[in-house]
Structure 1
């Protein structure tokens, strides 16, 4: 085993070496991991996708970001090793995240919201716009976004197909079935196994059902006006089955000054399939 590479303040620089920590906030204990340098400026708080725990982050997405930033991978109440009852509304998930961020002593942050995490991030912007300076949305949509009310059906059918074909559902949901997409799915699944110790607790079926209810409720809501006026970056795949690419336009209507980049031959896992381009784009966007 190689020696852990440390950042400023003894923070690891690699996802595989990062210990799982916890913070007591909003009546629960929320797990998180942090890596990178304190000299990276404003902390980047990252919120993960539906059905995910802290182990679901792609090391080749997180590690390059941590070369330039202090990155905080924040868990959700009732998910993985976090205590409390899982939330069924993004408004509540956002309130939990705000409480945890403030309990960590962070007065200003940037946000990276991946899929469901982007929906939580939008609620954070609504509830605490002064807390956030810049935000990156990847594979997400606003309230009432196109196709969000049918995500449950798309997801369940992929899970059933995965069981029948002995295929990880994320391979079917996150990637295209083209040769490039199949290869990206294969290497992604391998990278998720790189962290061998200190892994998070598995996501339960109850958590998955609760989060699907939250997405369905979100899809039926009308989007309120957002008080956030800071810089926004929107990243999306052109063949996203879970959150159709039309959601990028819907987000742009809500954040009209946002930068938008749509990746070709990419599905819901656009940030994983295009991790090198995504980290380069996000790093430039987040630089002051």
Structure 2
């Protein structure tokens, strides 16, 4: 099972062309896509952000990550084309992900978590530290992180603003309103439309509400003791409105030996806006 099947052009499959597959795990069928070579060492399992499906990955972020390794973009139960009831606790989302990873026959993985996906990744590492080698956390925070309990209000108000101004909410939520941020947002929205066929099912309002409940619960929790001592990379934007940059420091306090990079003039979409730098940083961090 590999995402590097060669076509007549003898080129690796790009994310916009990758087939959508499914794995049965934890009494649900979870969809995923994959790229890269099975012979590239430890696979990277990628978990996406709140209100996202498999089509929400930026092709120019993920294609370079798969040049030298197998990357699996894992969906969530009840989200997009995955069946089952959507979860509203990250503990349950993590348990589902662990079951799916093991169902794919994997015994050791690295994790990449964006925003909500980073919260799930932290919980995977807590529940199954034997499964995880290295973790990349982008635009996310730990339990009890600053501002996480009010993220619902920030998100809903910004969505309403987007409706009133005919602006995609992710443009307002993920990017700064500086010239650099506006240009990055415009290019990002165009890249998300590159996949023409085989797109994932849209996100429903019930999914969005459940995920917001999960974030709020996470923000009210006290961080448990962590047995995870493997390498961690923290990436954050200095102007993140959804997950304030103070969460990067809170994560660093949880993982004192972690590498951390804060990007200037960057919001919640830090990985998308700075994709060239981010892919280089992640590739170097994951290199054995």
TM range (shorter): over 0.9
Q: Which residue of 2 aligns with 1:7?
A: 4
Q: Which residue of 1 aligns with 2:174?
A: 174
Q: Is 1:252 the equivalent of 2:249? A: no
**Cα distance in 2 between the residues matched to 1:207 and 1:12:** 33
Query: Structure 2: 5+ residue runs without aligned partners?
Result: none
Aligned-residue Cα RMSD (Å) equals 1.2
**Cα distance in 2 between the residues matched to 1:12 and 1:80:** 25
**Cα distance in 2 between the residues matched to 1:140 and 1:228:** 17
User: Is the contact between residue 58 and residue 191 of structure 2 (CA under 8 Å) also seen in structure 1?
Assistant: yes
User: Is the contact between residue 8 and residue 39 of structure 1 (CA under 8 Å) also seen in structure 2?
Assistant: no
Q: Which residue of 2 aligns with 1:3?
A: none
- The offset of 1:13, in angstroms, is 3.1
Query: Structure 1: 5+ residue runs without aligned partners?
Result: 1-5
**Cα distance in 1 between the residues matched to 2:184 and 2:13:** 24
TM-score under structure 1 normalisation?
A: 0.97
Q: Which residue of 1 aligns with 2:225?
A: 225
Q: Which residue of 1 aligns with 2:87?
A: 87
- The offset of 1:144, in angstroms, is 0.2
Q: How many residues align?
A: 283
SS of match in other structure, 2:35 = strand
**Cα distance in 2 between the residues matched to 1:228 and 1:12:** 34
- The offset of 1:226, in angstroms, is 1.0
**Cα distance in 1 between the residues matched to 2:140 and 2:12:** 29
- The offset of 1:277, in angstroms, is 0.1
**Cα distance in 2 between the residues matched to 1:168 and 1:105:** 38
**Cα distance in 2 between the residues matched to 1:12 and 1:283:** 18
Q: Which residue of 1 aligns with 2:104?
A: 104
**Cα distance in 2 between the residues matched to 1:207 and 1:67:** 32
For 1:134-153, what aligned pairs fall within 5 Å after superposition?
A: 134-153=134-153
User: Is the contact between residue 55 and residue 199 of structure 2 (CA under 8 Å) also seen in structure 1?
Assistant: yes
TM-score under structure 2 normalisation?
A: 0.97
User: Is the contact between residue 43 and residue 71 of structure 2 (CA under 8 Å) also seen in structure 1?
Assistant: yes
- The offset of 1:138, in angstroms, is 0.1
- The offset of 1:8, in angstroms, is 6.0
Q: Is 1:61 the equivalent of 2:61? A: yes
User: Is the contact between residue 13 and residue 67 of structure 1 (CA under 8 Å) also seen in structure 2?
Assistant: no
SS of match in other structure, 1:152 = helix
- The offset of 1:69, in angstroms, is 1.3
**Cα distance in 2 between the residues matched to 1:100 and 1:44:** 14
- The offset of 1:39, in angstroms, is 2.1
